[in-house]
A = this chain, B = another copy of it.
Amino acid sequence: MTTETSPYTVQQEKMARYAKALSHPARLFILEFLDKQSCCFVGNIVDELPMAQSSVSQHLKELKDAGLIQGTVDPPRVQYCVNRKNWSEAKALFSEFFEVESMV
């Protein structure tokens, strides 16, 4: 097993991963919705989006895999919340990225 070394910085790799998670309007909607409600059930999100339940579930999985949200089971429901730690990390990465010269 060879250790693949990326030609990119850790920050670039991490930020690209977060950016990919943010690259679909439905996922942005979910994150903003979660942030507003500070945690809610999958059903609440499904009700708000014009797509099948399975599709919403898939978007939630991607957000979870990216570390931006976390879920806790409350049978038979699942409650999702923003993962504040990683949210902060993402925020810092984007902030640093855009701040290179001068803002606004």
By a beta-carbon cutoff of 8 Å, the part of chain A in contact with chain B is 6-8, 12-13, 15-16, 19-20, 22-29, 31-32, 35-36, 49-50, 87-88, 90-92, 94-95, 97-101, 103-104
- Across the interface, do B13 and A25 meet the contact criterion of CB distance under 8 Å? yes
Copy tally for this chain in the complex stands at 2
A103 to B87, CA, bound (A): 9
B residues less than 8 Å from A90 (CB atoms):
98
Contact residues in B for A25 (Cβ distance below 8 Å):
6, 8, 12-13, 15-16
| A93–B99 alpha-carbon span in the complex (Å) | 13
Contact B26 A23 (CB under 8 A): no
Shortest CB–CB separation between residue A8 and chain B, in angstroms? 4
